[in-house]
């Protein structure tokens, strides 16, 4: 019943509807029908129809407006995460609603902090799985555009916080995100670097208590709407090399971890080659890491998120479905011995 009004809204904003990239869709149809079976049809419906997408609103504890939560509630939003989660700091608040549509975004203004960050609510699950505590040394290995770094700082105040992004353009984006959300004294405690993530483990061995590897991946949502056919075709060819890069980033992250520290790996793709295959390869080749059970976290959010069945206890895959369009988001957790 809400879709016609949404269409009108998007027309009046003068934005042309996104076009599906057929080359990418054909490839996804082939691969994901094989990997996901019947589940692919409903996931496909959501991914190819942006008008049904939902957006979460992560509140910024450093720039609280007293009216914000009541405004959100009036508009039909409710908290995405509840007390039954194994880890949920009181300062960490994200609002979602069942109906599609996006809360208005805030523009970047120098010297003024934004009050909230708009995101795919599933992208907060890796942060909740990481369970950062005050005073811990934390590395966000592939940090741009910065949403997960901002979310980590909503949870706790790390001792050292190292945000790394190898790509120059994305690194500038990361810096701007941090400046938009994090106040002055705290910003100075954050180290932003442009190192090759594959080398950080050798450069900074056993320095961190927690490492987040939100790896470069085939971003299913955005790839489906590639406007440049040649670029899309090239991406699909290079896609085969991604799992090797992801494996190298994980190896590096494990070196950077202190013994007893833990690591969360995440992607925004459904691809088995970039998800469980990479984690299985790490578990089979690194004798100093063990899987960590995150099934309690998945259980606690199963009202709001839809998961692929049959995954192992140390991993989860959020599948977008109508009314719960979050994901794709793969999350796995490991601990270093």
Instruction: Say if residue 196 carries a ligand binding annotation.
Output: yes
Which pLDDT tens digit goes with each residue over 122-160? 999 999 999 999 999 999 999 999 999 999 999 999 999
Which pLDDT tens digit goes with each residue over 154-203? 999 999 999 999 999 999 999 999 999 999 989 988 999 999 999 999 99
Instruction: Say if residue 11 carries a ligand binding annotation.
Output: no
Whether the predicted pLDDT of 117 surpasses 60:
yes
Question: Residue length, the chain?
Answer: 337
Q: Are 301 and 125 in contact (CB under 8 A)?
A: yes
In this structure, the number of other CB atoms found within 10 A of the CB of residue 188 comes to 8
Q: What is the mean pLDDT of the chain?
A: 94
Q: How far apart are CA 124 and CA 305, in angstroms?
A: 12
Q: What is the predicted pLDDT for the residue at 65?
A: 87
Whether the predicted pLDDT of 294 surpasses 90:
yes
Instruction: Give the full edge-to-edge strand order of the sheet including 94-96.
Output: 78-79, 94-96, 56-59, 116-119
In this structure, the number of other CB atoms found within 10 A of the CB of residue 335 comes to 16
Residues 6+ apart with CB under 8 A from 158: 132, 134, 135, 136, 137, 138, 152, 189
Q: How far apart are CA 149 and CA 163, in angstroms?
A: 7
Which pLDDT tens digit goes with each residue over 193-250? 999 999 999 999 999 999 999 999 999 999 999 999 999 999 999 999 999 999 999 9
- Residue corresponding to tokens 């810096």: 175
Domain residue limits, the chain: 22-54+120-336
Superfamily name and number for 22-54+120-336: Vaccinia Virus protein VP39 (3.40.50.150)
Instruction: Specify the higher pLDDT residue, 13 or 6.
Output: 13
Can you list the pairs that 109-113 forms with residues at least 24 positions away whose Cβ atoms lie under 8 Å?
Answer: 113/60, 113/62, 113/63, 113/180, 113/181, 113/182, 113/183
Q: Which two tokens stand for residue 192?
A: 């932003």
For 185, list phi and psi in degrees, rounded to 5: -60, -35
For 229, list phi and psi in degrees, rounded to 5: -60, -40
pTM for the predicted model, two decimal places = 0.94
Q: Are 293 and 314 in contact (CB under 8 A)?
A: yes
Q: Which two tokens stand for residue 253?
A: 């992250």
Q: Which two tokens stand for residue 120?
A: 């795919």
Q: Which two tokens stand for residue 16?
A: 């042309």
Q: What is the predicted pLDDT for the residue at 1?
A: 30
Q: How far apart are CA 222 and CA 239, in angstroms?
A: 14
Q: How far apart are CA 187 and CA 78, in angstroms?
A: 30
Instruction: Say if residue 41 carries a ligand binding annotation.
Output: no
Q: Are 80 and 56 in contact (CB under 8 A)?
A: yes
Q: Are 334 and 290 in contact (CB under 8 A)?
A: yes
- pLDDT classification of 12: cutoffs 50, 70, 90: very low
Q: What is the predicted pLDDT for the residue at 16?
A: 60
Instruction: Say if residue 143 carries a ligand binding annotation.
Output: yes
- The predicted model gives 95-120 an average pLDDT of 92
Catalytic: 268?
A: yes
Q: Are 194 and 247 in contact (CB under 8 A)?
A: no
Secondary structure E strands in the chain: 56-59, 78-79, 94-96, 116-119, 138-140, 161-164, 190-193, 208-214, 257-267, 289-291, 315-318, 329-336
Which pLDDT tens digit goes with each residue over 99-111? 998 899 998 887 8
Whether the predicted pLDDT of 6 surpasses 50:
no
Q: Which of 94, 155, 163, 268 is catalytic?
A: 268
Q: Which two tokens stand for residue 201?
A: 């483990």
Instruction: Say if residue 333 carries a ligand binding annotation.
Output: no
Tell me whether the omega of the peptide bond preceding residue 145 falls within 30 degrees of 0, making it cis. Answer: yes
Whether the predicted pLDDT of 334 surpasses 80:
yes
**Maximum CA extent, the chain:** 57
Whether the predicted pLDDT of 14 surpasses 80:
no
SS3 127: helix
* CA nearest neighbour of 289 among 216, 213, 214, 217: 213
- Partners of residue 66 on adjacent β-strands: none
Which pLDDT tens digit goes with each residue over 49-84? 999 999 999 999 999 888 999 999 999 999 999 989
Residues 6+ apart with CB under 8 A from 148: 123, 124, 126, 127, 140, 212, 214
Q: How far apart are CA 117 and CA 94, in angstroms?
A: 9
Q: What is the predicted pLDDT for the residue at 189?
A: 87
């Amino acid at each position: 019943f809400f879709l016609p009004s949404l269409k009108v809204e998007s027309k009046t904003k003068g934005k042309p509807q996104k076009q599906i990239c057929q080359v990418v869709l054909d490839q996804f149809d082939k691969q994901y029908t094989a990997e996901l079976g019947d589940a692919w049809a409903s996931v496909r419906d959501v991914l190819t129809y942006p008008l049904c997408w939902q957006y979460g609103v992560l509140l910024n504890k450093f720039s609280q407006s007293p009216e914000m939560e009541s405004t959100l509630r009036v508009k039909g939003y409710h908290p995405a995460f509840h007390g039954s989660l194994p880890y949920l700091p009181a300062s960490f608040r994200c609002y979602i609603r069942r109906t599609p549509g996006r809360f208005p975004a805030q523009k970047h203004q120098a010297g003024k902090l934004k009050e909230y960050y708009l995101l795919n609510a599933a992208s907060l699950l890796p942060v909740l799985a990481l369970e950062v505590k005050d005073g811990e040394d934390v590395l966000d290995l592939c940090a741009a555009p910065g949403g997960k770094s901002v979310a980590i700082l909503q949870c706790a105040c790390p001792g050292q916080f190292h945000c790394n992004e190898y790509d120059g353009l994305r690194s500038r984006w990361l810096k701007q995100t941090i400046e938009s959300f994090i106040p002055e004294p705290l910003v100075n405690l954050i180290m932003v670097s442009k190192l090759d993530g594959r080398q950080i483990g050798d450069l900074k061995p056993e320095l961190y208590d927690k490492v987040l590897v939100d790896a470069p991946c085939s971003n299913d949502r955005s790839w489906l709407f590639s406007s440049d056919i040649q670029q899309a075709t090239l991406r699909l060819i290079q896609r085969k090399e991604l799992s090797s890069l992801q494996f190298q980033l994980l190896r590096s992250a494990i070196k950077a971890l202190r013994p007893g520290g833990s690591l969360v790996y995440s992607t925004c793709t459904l691809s088995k080659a970039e998800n469980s295959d990479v984690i299985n390869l790490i578990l089979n080749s690194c004798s100093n890491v063990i899987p960590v059970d995150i099934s309690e976290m998945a259980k606690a959010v199963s009202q709001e998120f839809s998961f692929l069945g049959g995954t192992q206890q140390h991993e989860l895959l959020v599948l977008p479905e109508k009314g719960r369009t979050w994901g794709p988001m793969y999350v796995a957790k490991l601990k270093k011995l």
